[in-house]
Structure formats: C-alpha cells, structure tokens
C-alpha cells in the first residue's frame, strides 16, 4: 500500500493531513514528539488507509534516523512536513539559543528528513512543506519565525530543482488556521499587551481575510493532498491557503 509520511501529525494541520490521506487509501506514517497525541490522531482515522506512528524529535539526528527506520524500505509516495514551532518575542529579547532552536525545527528538520528519505521516494513522489503567510507579510514580534518560513520558500524551489523530475517539491502556506499553534500564538501575542489592544489587532487582521474568519485544518489538508498526490505537473510552487489574506 502507498506510504505517506506526515510530520506534526499529533495535532492541527498535520493531524488533518494524516486523516485526509488515510481516507484516500494511503498508509500514513505519522510523526510527532508526543505518543498520546499520535494515538489520538490514529483513533480518528476512518480508513480505508492505515495509520502507523513513530515518536521522534526531528531536531535531532536520532529522530530523523528513527523515521527512516520506520519507513522500513517501503516506497514513499508523499512526504508532508507540517511539524514546526512558532516564536513571538521582541527582537531585542530574542536569544541566539532561541534562533538556533527555531531554525533547527523549521528549516533543518524538513531538509534533513527529505534527505534521509531520498532513497525511498517512489517515482513521481510529492514533498509538501507547510509554510506561512508570515514569510511574505510582516507581523510584529514575529521576525525570526517569518524569516524561517521565508527560508522554507527558498528550500522549496531549490529542492524542486535538485530532485526533478523524479520527486516534486511544493509548499502550502496557510493563513490564520484554527489550530493549537494559533491558540498558543494568540496567548503569546497578548503577553505584555493590553487585552483591548490585542483584540483590536486581531480584529483588524481578520478583516483583511477576504473570506472572513479562521481557516479549518481540513481545508488546508485538501490542498496539501492535491499537491502531494494529484498535482503531477506542479513543482517548486507555493500555494496560499489563507482566506485571501495575502490578496489584501
């Protein structure tokens, strides 16, 4: 059965992608750091595909190796790298350790995991990275995160050139999506900010989304699934699933 590797499969967009691909009949290898959360994702899968899991920290060499071992030589049709971390802090307060951690999670991990799976990719396989509109639209207290997602766009186009024509590499950049990471971002954004000012800022940003409101993870998953499996003529592209945010 066709194998898809999905990182960050314990919640949010990653969990929605895992469920979507399993519903399409793929065997999904879900990767995350929390075993119980992965089990919850697996319990929500409604076939006809299967769900397997591996607990791994992709910021470490051991974690990358654990995923490659779990693949067990099977052909990989899709790799969706949804795992990543956010960072909300004033530039003056950001440390080198925080920058290194952010870079390892958001750039090094997707590159090194793709590298580790190169020998396993089936012909025509699709790699999809999960980016962010923060790469192209400025947000205060978000410079390192936005820069890491901008680097992911560069990784997409350059890996597409390296791996063509056997493997396609694309990126999906969501806007505000109803995920635990978004909730954490809101909480972090409020720190040191009067609640009424934070509320006003988010109301203004929501008003810039042409379709209104937060995006659901399942809607992002539909586009991810298309790029990973169906879009055989697309590589090196970034697709924005942002409710029209960047169009403003």
- Positions annotated as catalytic residues are 145
> Do residues 176 and 245 touch, judged by C-beta distance below 8 A?
yes
Q: What residues form DSSP beta bridges with 51?
A: 28
Sequence-distant contacts of 34-43: CB under 8 A, at least 24 apart: 34/10, 37/10, 37/11, 38/9, 38/10, 40/10, 41/9, 41/10, 41/11, 41/15
Q: How far is the C-alpha of 38 from the C-alpha of 31, rounded, in Å?
A: 8
Burial 211-248 (b: 16+ CB within 10 A, else e): eeeebebebbbebbbbbbbebeeebbebbbbbbebbee
Report residue 83 as tokens. 């795992």
Alpha carbon 21 to chain centroid, angstroms: 15
């Amino acid at each position: 059965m066709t194998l898809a590797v999905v990182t960050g499969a314990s919640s949010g967009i990653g969990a929605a992608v895992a469920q979507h691909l399993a519903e399409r009949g793929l065997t999904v290898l879900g990767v995350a750091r929390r075993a119980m959360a992965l089990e919850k994702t697996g319990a929500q899968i409604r076939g006809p595909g299967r769900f397997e899991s591996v607990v791994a920290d992709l910021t470490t060499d051991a974690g990358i190796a654990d995923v490659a071992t779990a693949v067990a030589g099977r052909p990989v049709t899709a790799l969706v790298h949804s795992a990543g971390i956010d960072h909300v802090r004033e530039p003056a307060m950001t440390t080198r350790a925080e920058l290194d951690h952010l870079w390892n999670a958001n750039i090094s991990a997707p590159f090194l995991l793709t590298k580790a799976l190169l020998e396993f990719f089936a012909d025509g396989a699709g790699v999809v990275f999960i980016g962010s509109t923060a790469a192209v639209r400025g947000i205060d207290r978000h410079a390192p995160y936005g820069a890491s997602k901008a680097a992911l766009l560069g990784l997409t186009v350059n890996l597409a050139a390296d791996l063509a024509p056997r493997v396609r590499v694309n990126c999906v950049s969501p806007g505000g999506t109803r995920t635990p990471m978004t909730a954490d971002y809101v909480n972090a954004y409020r720190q040191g900010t009067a609640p009424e000012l934070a509320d006003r800022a988010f109301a203004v940003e929501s008003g810039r989304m042409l379709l209104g409101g937060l995006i659901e993870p399942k809607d992002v998953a539909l586009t991810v699934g298309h790029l990973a499996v169906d879009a055989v003529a697309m590589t090196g592209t970034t697709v924005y699933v942002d409710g029209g945010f960047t169009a403003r």
